[in-house]
Every structure is written in C-alpha cells, then in structure tokens.
Homo-oligomer: A and B are copies of this chain.
Amino acid sequence: MIMDTTEKLEKLHALDRECRHLERVAALLDWDQECYLPEEGVGERAEQSALLHRWAHERFICRETGDLLAGLGSGAATPRGDPSLPELEGDFVALLWKKYDREVKLPGDFVASCVRAERLAQSAWARARRDNDFPAFLPHLETLIDLARQRAAWWGYEGSRAYDGLLDIYEPGLSQEDIAGVFSPLREKLSSILKEIASQPPPEDAFLDQDFDPDTQRRLSRRLLEVLGFDPRRGRLDESAHPFTTTLGADDVRITTRYHRRNLLSNIFSVIHEAGHAAYEMAFPPEIRGGSLADGASMGIHESQSRFWENVVGRSRPFWEGFYPVLLGFFPDQLRGVPEEVFYRAVNRVQPSLIRIEADELSYSLHIILRFELERSLFSGDLSPADLPQAWARGMEDLLGIVPETDTEGVLQDIHWSQGAFGYFPSYALGNLYGLQFRKKLAEDIPGFEEPVRNLAFGEIRRWLEEHIYRWGRRLEPAALLRKVTGESLRAEPFIDYIEGKYGALYHLPVSSP
C-alpha cells in the first residue's frame, strides 16, 4: 500500500495523540502519588508507572514511527522533512523526529528501570527529608546520577558533555557554557545588590508572623484563582508537599499548593506561580491541541510564564493595590492597621534564606546558580554525591552568606533530583531572564500595561501572551521563540535592570551608573 503525504501525516498525528494519552495517564499516576496515594501503595505504584512509561516508549519507537518519519523525508540532516510540507506540519515532523531519535536510542528495560528507580527514590527522599537523613537518600541519588549519565551516553553525550545532554531535555539547544555565560553576570550583579541591601533597614513584616487559618487560606486560594481567570471546569487545585502543575488533558490542567499556618505568603505565591504555568497549558490553540506541539517551548519558557505572574505581576504594586482589599476580607484581624504599601514592601522583602521556594525574587536566582554549579560538578566528576552536603554549605556561604544547619534545609529540600530531573534547575533562573526580556517587549507594545492590573484586569496582558507566546506551543525552540518575540538572543540585562530599578526604589539604593 502506497500512502500519500496526507495519509502519512494523519497516521503520525494519530500515533502522536495515542502516545500523548499514555503520557497523560502516566502524569495522573504521578499527580495521584503526590496528592493522594496511601503510604503503602508506593511500591506497586512504581511498578504500574514503570510499565506505563515502558509501553509509551515502546509504542512510540515502533517501526511504524520510524517508517512514517522517513517517508515524510525526516532524518538527522532534515528534521523538518520534505520542504514542501506546510510550516505547521514541518514543525510537527521536526519535533517528532527529535523525540524519536532520542527515545529510539534508549532500550525499553532502561526506561522502565529509570522510572522504577525514580519512584522509589522519591519516597526515600520524602522520608530522608523528614528525618534529616541524607545518607539514607544517598544510594538512591547515586543510582539516579548513574542512570542520567547512561541516558546522556545513549544520546552520544560522553564524559563531561553528559550534562549538556540532560540540559537539552529541558532547554533544547542550550549548552552548559551558554548558561554559564548568562549566569556569570547575573551572579555578580545580584550578589552586589544583595550586599547593598543588607546594609539597609529591613521593611516591617512582623505582622506576617501570625496564625493564618489553613481553611481560610484554602478559600483565599479559590478567590485568587478566580481573579487570575483560572477556569475550574478545566482544572483543579490540590495540595502536595511541593507545589506543581501537571497537564492530564487539554481540559484538565491541575495545580497544587501547600498551606502553612504561619506562612501566608507561601501559599499565595505558589498559587499565582502555578496558575501562570496553567494559563500557558490551557491556551494552546486548536490546531495543535492533543498532540506533542501542545506543550511549552521549554521548561525555561514555561518558568518565564509562572515567574512572570508570580513576580512581575504578583509582587507588583498595582497588583496589591487591587488585591490587598480582597485579602483584608479574608484576614481582617491579622492585617488590621497594616497599610497596603507596608504589605507591598513586606512581600518584596529581600533576605537571604535557606529554602529556594521561599526565596525572594532577588536572591532566588542565586539558589539556582548554586544548583547549576553543583550539577555541573557532579557530572564532570569533580564532585562526588557523598560530598554534596559540604559543597552545598560552601556554596550557600559563598552566594548567600548563610549555611543550613540540617540537610533537610539544604541539599534535601528539593524534589527534583529524587525524580532524576538533573538539568532542570537552570530553567527557573532562565525563566527569570526570558520573562523580563518578554516584559520589555510587552511594555513597548502596550505602554501602561500595568494600569488595568490595579483593577485586577489581566485581559490585555493575557492576550499579548497568547498572541506572542502561548500560540506557538512547542513549535519553536526557546532561542527561536525569544528571537521571534523580542528580536534578541538570551541575555541577563533586562532582568538585572528590572531588579535594580525595583529594589533600588524599595531600598532607596544609590542609582548605579549605566
């Protein structure tokens, strides 16, 4: 039977949708494990998850996929396939080729054993974090690092290049040198502003150290999602130890948060952050729905969205001018007599702290730079996993001037490594940089775009994001998307300028020379 191009494309789309369904189901298993799975169910869940990932993998790398891609003219030298394909189909074929080329190189047994090891490591990590017991987690970590190195090797990244192979999963096209190139001025500038701020009096925030009833916080979260335009018919909010967003279907995007009695801000900014991810996931246009193109351009671009909403919008003065009266309705006793400006200053308090996800907007990127440097050393072989706690302490001292007393507050704080996600961390700081490059363009396109925010009206911003970013899904790699939107390549200056401007004003710092 001879198929024409249209038939081949249809078959490839059908196959892609089938694999996406399996990925969504696997994501449901993970979501459930984070939010609802009974303690003793972890072992069998790991088996279920491994089986499903293995099947999705084997289905995708079947001969049919290879034949269809080859039949469409796609290959290492011509990933976009036949040049006569419409642009959208060329983007689709290129994405599937890359995915196929990656997956076909991994044996099914290897994929299954990675998933199994990750699931077991994850519950070992949760216990180790609870018990401040890094040695209990260490063997799992060593296994996962070995597996990650093997994965990179299957893809042709040997020796110290292994880390580039892992980075490419999350930030296609960016090497460790590229990242080091933008992190270096960032590190220098943020450290210097941090030092200047340390000599200033801190803003008043004693009123945050009160009891904020979790049930009231839960109601507040619903209100916040409503304000942000999160559609509850197409998504959910649940609770997990580590907030995250997961997409279980085009109309089923779920976010999580967590509630601490004595930390009101943790939940508020988690919800805004995750709702930023969800806004992206919910807005892919019909022509790419349900397939692999309906995804973020990269983890860094995804973080540019969550962090844009969390920080650029959510920690801005106009936002609090609009939302503070709402918040007062939920916690009138705790916030009695606290003026909005004081609250705004408190949510932007800069203070080096141990925990990444509680960090302020300024020192946050320094937490990421620490992790990037540690990962780089782990994969170059300069650092052994057993020495991580010490290296962590040295890095914290160096970057933030503080040292954790426990591993729970140090190397065990994040879930990522227990999920085998090495190379993921840089995305967060890259998200800060992309986000401010986007914001610069947004401000040029729509001068005064922050005005409606005072009335909690986000339509204009959302439409701009839809038109310039969301609608592309994964059609463009991050560098190409960035160039299309801003005309620029990745750089740290817009973020640095924004930080200098905002925190210079907040802390009355001397204006730096240009």
Interface, chain A (partner B; CB < 8 A): 18, 21-22, 24-25, 28-29, 32, 36-41, 43-45, 47-48, 51-52, 55, 231-236, 238, 248-252, 290
Q: Are B233 and A44 in contact (CB under 8 A)?
A: no
Q: Which residues of B contact A232 (CB under 8 A)?
A: 38
Partner of A28, one of B21, B28, B43, B290: B28
Q: Which residues of B contact A38 (CB under 8 A)?
A: 232-236, 251-252
The 10 closest A-B pairs by CB, nearest first: A41-B252, A40-B251, A44-B249, A39-B233, A21-B48, A40-B234, A40-B233, A41-B249, A41-B251, A21-B51
Q: Are A45 and B249 in contact (CB under 8 A)?
A: yes
Q: Are A48 and B236 in contact (CB under 8 A)?
A: no
Q: Which residues of B contact A252 (CB under 8 A)?
A: 37-38, 40-41, 44-45
Among A18, A41, A238, find the residue whose CB has the most chain B CB atoms closer than 10 A.
Answer: A41
Q: Which residues of B contact A55 (CB under 8 A)?
A: 55
Q: Which residues of B contact A231 (CB under 8 A)?
A: 40
Find the B residue at minimum CB distance from A234: B40
Bound: A252/B38 CA distance, A: 6
Bound: A223/B43 CA distance, A: 27
Find the B residue at minimum CB distance from A290: B44
Bound: A51/B14 CA distance, A: 12
Q: Which residues of B contact A29 (CB under 8 A)?
A: 25, 28
Bound: A48/B37 CA distance, A: 20
Query: Can you name 20 A-B residue pairings with CB atoms under 8 Å?
Result: A18-B51, A24-B48, A25-B29, A28-B28, A28-B29, A36-B238, A38-B233, A38-B234, A38-B235, A38-B236, A39-B234, A40-B234, A40-B251, A40-B252, A41-B249, A41-B251, A41-B252, A44-B250, A44-B252, A48-B249
Question: Assuming A25-B48, A44-B250, what are 16 further A-B pairs, CB within 8 angstroms?
Answer: A21-B48, A25-B29, A28-B32, A36-B238, A37-B252, A38-B232, A38-B234, A38-B252, A40-B231, A40-B233, A40-B234, A40-B251, A41-B249, A41-B251, A43-B251, A44-B252
Q: Are B22 and A51 in contact (CB under 8 A)?
A: yes
Among A21, A45, A55, A252, find the residue whose CB has the most chain B CB atoms closer than 10 A.
Answer: A252
A231 to chain B, nearest CB (A): 8
Bound: A233/B248 CA distance, A: 26
Q: Which residues of B contact A48 (CB under 8 A)?
A: 21, 24-25, 249
Q: Which residues of B contact A22 (CB under 8 A)?
A: 51
Find the B residue at minimum CB distance from A45: B249
Bound: A248/B29 CA distance, A: 11
Bound: A251/B39 CA distance, A: 8
Q: Which residues of B contact A43 (CB under 8 A)?
A: 251
Q: Which residues of B contact A37 (CB under 8 A)?
A: 252
Bound: A29/B235 CA distance, A: 15
Partner of A47, one of B21, B45, B235, B236: B21
Bound: A234/B24 CA distance, A: 25
A106 to chain B, nearest CB (A): 20
Bound: A22/B54 CA distance, A: 12
Bound: A252/B45 CA distance, A: 9
A28 to chain B, nearest CB (A): 6
A24 to chain B, nearest CB (A): 6
Bound: A21/B55 CA distance, A: 12
Bound: A28/B41 CA distance, A: 13
Q: Which residues of B contact A39 (CB under 8 A)?
A: 233-234
A284 to chain B, nearest CB (A): 13
Q: Which residues of B contact A233 (CB under 8 A)?
A: 38-40
Q: Which residues of B contact A45 (CB under 8 A)?
A: 249, 252
A13 to chain B, nearest CB (A): 14
Q: Which residues of B contact A234 (CB under 8 A)?
A: 38-41
Bound: A165/B290 CA distance, A: 38
Find the B residue at minimum CB distance from A235: B38
Find the B residue at minimum CB distance from A18: B51
